[in-house]
A = this chain, B = another copy of it.
Amino acid sequence: MKDFTSTPSPVKHIAEPTVRRLSGYLRFLEAFDAEGHETISSGELARAGGTTSAQVRKDLSFFGSFGKRGLGYGVKDLIASLREILGLDTRWPVVIVGAGKIGAALAQYRGFGTHGFDVVGIYDTDPSRVGTHLNGVTVRADGDLEGDIAALTPRIAVLCVPGEAAQAALDRVVGAGIRAVLNFAPTSLVAPEGVTVRAVNMATELEVLAYALTNESRD
């Protein structure tokens, strides 16, 4: 049995649902830690994350062995391990493209910073927004985007532009070297191989709910 205490191994391909759950465990553990708990069992973690204890253990087992049999997991240790697994042991510079309602709301969102992500630039085409300040970062002109990406080397871009402008915005940030994008525009985007795009789409979420309500013939 290998000792993975200090280096979770990335090893093989991990399914996205697994990564999402790990993120959820981390979120809950942070709150649990703040409440002063020292240890947690896979069962408790499962209940909080809406899954099963076997799932929790399997998810973690891909990366190593973090618990103590009979006892559970050390809360602080597991937090540290999950941070390392998810790549949160460094800070990630992020640019936001679009300073409208959503872009502005995001820029002012505190959790951004407290979770390891630093907003290093916000860009907008509207001259009346350029120069305004959002949570300490000045909105810059759209045209500065490429130059700033080259200079500040953010790894992640968050797109908060209208749907019609989203594909063009994606192409620009990808052209400038960005390989990971979070898209808030209600359009599905095509990206070249090697670029990860995640979408947050309110319409889709609401439609999933509408579908669920429409088909309550479940039991």
Contacts and interface: CB of A to CB of B under 8 A. Distances in A.
A187 to B, nearest CB: 7
A128 interface: no
Contacts of A206: 92, 94, 112, 115, 117, 156, 182
A70 to B, nearest CB: 26
B117 A109 contact: no
A203 B87 contact: no
Interface stretch (A20-28, A138-146, A169-177): A20-28
Interface size range on A against B: 35 or more
A186 to B, nearest CB: 6
Interface string A99-121: 00110111011011001110000
Interface stretch (A52-60, A71-79, A207-215): A207-215
